[in-house]
Amino acid sequence: MEFYAVAGGPSSKSAACAVVGVYEGGEMAASGQAADARQKGRIAALLKAGDFAGRAGESWLLEGAPRTLLVGLGSRKSWSRKGYRRAITNTVQALAKTQVTEAIVLFAQEPLPDTDTYYRARFLAEGALAALYRVNDLKSAKKPAPAKLSRLGLAVAEKGDLKGAVRGLKEGAAIGAGVALTRNLANLPGNVCTPTHLANTAKDLARRHKGLRVKILGEAEVRKLKMGSFLSVARGSDEPLKFIVMEYHGGLSGVAPVALVGKGITFDSGGISLKPGAAMDEMKFDMGGAASVFGTLEALASMRAPVNVVGIVAACENMPSGRATKPGDVVRSMQGLTIEVLNTDAEGRLILCDALTYSRRFKPKVVIDIATLTGACVVALGAPYSGLMGNDEELIRDLDTAGRRADDRAWHLPLGDEYVEMLRSNFADLANIGGRDAGALTAGAFLSKFTDGLKWAHLDIAGTAWLGGAQKGATGRPVPLLVDYLLRQG
């Protein structure tokens, strides 16, 4: 998909389909007046007759030359970012059903609270690519033909707005590509998206993008590094573990990187502490944190962002077998702390703690781990918000603000010594669970024991990385949040 920006709207000679917004009650958006003139008043007459109400989710294609698509914007009083995003989705989905190859979105000029030209453009590109996304299923039936739509323009009111619009479209397209990669990886079944598949994906990223270097460590190297906690999770699986390190150098040489640490459990059975069978298939999504690290690096490298980032992914399966770690076993982490494994289904923190320790090698200015870590976070926040905690208030505030800007929200959860106390063990330095209460917070407290001296934040995306039910599939979150944050770190 090619994106571009124009001032005003389509010229009289343009064959592009004009996309005109209509507010509820049949009120044409001011940005559609030029298109109506091009249609010789046909749009105004149609609205006056009451043939199109402008309700959110509605669309109507006016045939003829040039074609015009009417899109409902809903109530003018409640016009917001959410309505704008919905209108973009509706626009692209409607055009995808036609033979239209090029369109210009005129309602992007409509005033939008708390949103400048850059974000209107970025949301358009992100939304268009999301609307065209098709789940990468393995069905044997013939795939539907792709949409004819190949060029999408954004209309701005003034020529002075073009610079911000062009940047927003470029970065939005890159974020859209990163989200798509994240979704593709997470949607694959566990017998396809193995740790080895993730390692090969990293190598492919390095081949496609300059400035991206990759190193893959296997079991022998991980054992040499004394990552006993990570090794304990992988022990029960026949699939070889992979420790993946991806370095993106887009910023100035010598500038400390931001480290992104992703949980890469490519299938989580729970291990000896076996999960219930219902919905266990969704545990292929337990590598959503790792997938978001891949997607974020794809986005940054695609737009050649001027930042330095290192992506670290600890990838393995969590399976039961005669070799698997047992409840009550004690393992030693790379940092040297011993851990009593009271529940083998609390495995994400066991691989992340060694990955966090490894991240110190890069002397990062910030470390952010991303993980589908706890069902407790889903109970607390549901699907709208990722859980956010950490040891640095400025970093927490910056990530929260980035989530608000990107419409990829996170909620700040508490992290204190009281939760660390719940991890006491009679047999080791700490236990890997703290009991029934405050499960998301004790998981964060566990990770905090491995972050002394680091400026660190933790994103629990167990509720946001995928949807269940009829819409089952990965969402690509929190790639927009992470990219928005990183773009301001250059």
DSSP 8-state secondary structure symbol assigned to residue 107: G
- From the candidates 349, 405, 449, 477, give the one annotated as an active-site residue: 349
The dihedral built from the CA positions of residue 75, 77, 80 and 84, taken in this order, carries a sign that is: positive
**What H or E segment, with its residue span, contains residue 2?**
strand 2-7
Whether residue 414 has a cis bond before it, omega within 30° of 0: no
User: In angstroms, rounded to a whole number, what is the distance separating the alpha carbons of residues 260 and 208?
Assistant: 20
How, if at all, do strands 59-62 and 68-74 pair? antiparallel
User: In angstroms, rounded to a whole number, what is the distance separating the alpha carbons of residues 488 and 94?
Assistant: 35
Are 386 and 478 in contact, with CB atoms under 8 Å apart?
A: yes
- From the candidates 85, 170, 275, 472, give the one annotated as an active-site residue: 275
DSSP 8-state secondary structure symbol assigned to residue 248: E
311 three-state secondary structure? strand
Are 387 and 377 in contact, with CB atoms under 8 Å apart?
A: yes
Structure tokens at 375: 């069902």
In the chain, count of helices (H) and strands (E)?
15, 20
Burial 449-477 (b: 16+ CB within 10 A, else e): bbbeebbbbbbbbbbbbbeeeeeebbbbb
The dihedral built from the CA positions of residue 401, 402, 408 and 413, taken in this order, carries a sign that is: negative
User: In angstroms, rounded to a whole number, what is the distance separating the alpha carbons of residues 273 and 36?
Assistant: 65
CB within 8 Å of 485: residues ≥ 6 apart: 398, 399, 402
**What H or E segment, with its residue span, contains residue 222?**
helix 219-224
Q: Where are the beta strands (DSSP E) in 231-385?
A: 242-249, 258-268, 308-318, 329-332, 338-341, 366-371
Comparing CA positions, the residue from 149, 10, 153 lying closest to residue 93 is 149
Q: Is 183 annotated as catalytic?
A: no
Are 137 and 183 in contact, with CB atoms under 8 Å apart?
A: no
CB within 8 Å of 349: residues ≥ 6 apart: 373, 432, 443, 446, 447
Chain position carrying tokens 């033979």: 99
Please report the DSSP string for 122-180 in residue order: HHHHHHHHHHH-------SSPPPPPPS--EEEEEESSGGGHHHHHHHHHHHHHHHHHHH
Q: Is 139 annotated as catalytic?
A: no
What positions carry a catalytic annotation? 275, 349
